[in-house]
Amino acid sequence: METIDHELRERANQVLAENGFVQLPSQFQVGGIQFDVPDVFLGPPGTLSLTILLDRPSGREESGRVYWLAQRLARALDAQDSRRSMNVVIVGGPPEDKLLADMQTIARVLVLDRTLEVKRLLGPLLPFGPLATMGVSMSGLEGLDNFVRGSKESSGLQSLVRAASEGEKAVEMAYLRWIDSSIERSES
């Protein structure tokens, strides 16, 4: 298979590596069966996935080879009672509908093209991380305190947030005081 988009493939390799995926040698074995796949990755630590990058096939014969390779690898994993799930990333755009439907019966299939940023297209494979919008120095409690400030019940909510740094019992006591203060206000 000739690479359709070198830049897109390289960017995919980079994004996977940055997110803890480990690239295997292109020639590897599963259960004694030899495979030759240019870009194959084990998932990041704590995951059990195997991800292969394949170029979008240009014709029917090449579609058959792509499917055969993916099916052979999936069966080899099954024969070894592997718990690894298989992901296939088609680089260069969506393949014909029949191939896509057939591939989805044996693996999770993602299509990588230039419609969105590579990291977004590979998002379903990537581990969750901290939100980029949160300030690095802001703790979760500071963020929550900023959020509740200005709400109708801000004094009670802020007392809960402040108590959180002191532990579970302190939060429970602050919550009871808040509940009691609202009952007192309604009785007056």
Which domains can be identified in the chain, with CATH numbers?
A: 6-125 (3.40.1350.10), 140-179 (no CATH)
Q: Reply yes or no on whether the pLDDT at 137 is more than 50.
A: no
Confidence tier at 2 by pLDDT (50, 70, 90): very low
Mean pLDDT of 176-187: 66
Q: What pLDDT is stored for residue 154 in this prediction?
A: 65
Q: Answer whether residue 70 shows pLDDT above 50.
A: yes
Q: Give the per-residue pLDDT at 85.
A: 92
Burial readout 86-125 (b: 16 or more C-beta within 10 A, e: otherwise): bbbbbbbeebeeebeebbeebbebbbbbeeeebeebbeeb
How many angstroms separate the CA atoms of 10 and 4, rounded?
Answer: 12
Mean pLDDT of 109-124: 92
pLDDT band at residue 3 under the 50/70/90 scheme? very low
Lowest mean pLDDT among 7-21, 71-85, 130-144, 165-179: 130-144
Element (H, E) at 182: helix 168-187
* pLDDT above 80 (res 183): no
Look at residue 89 and give its three-state secondary structure.
strand
Q: Is the pTM of this model over 0.75?
A: no
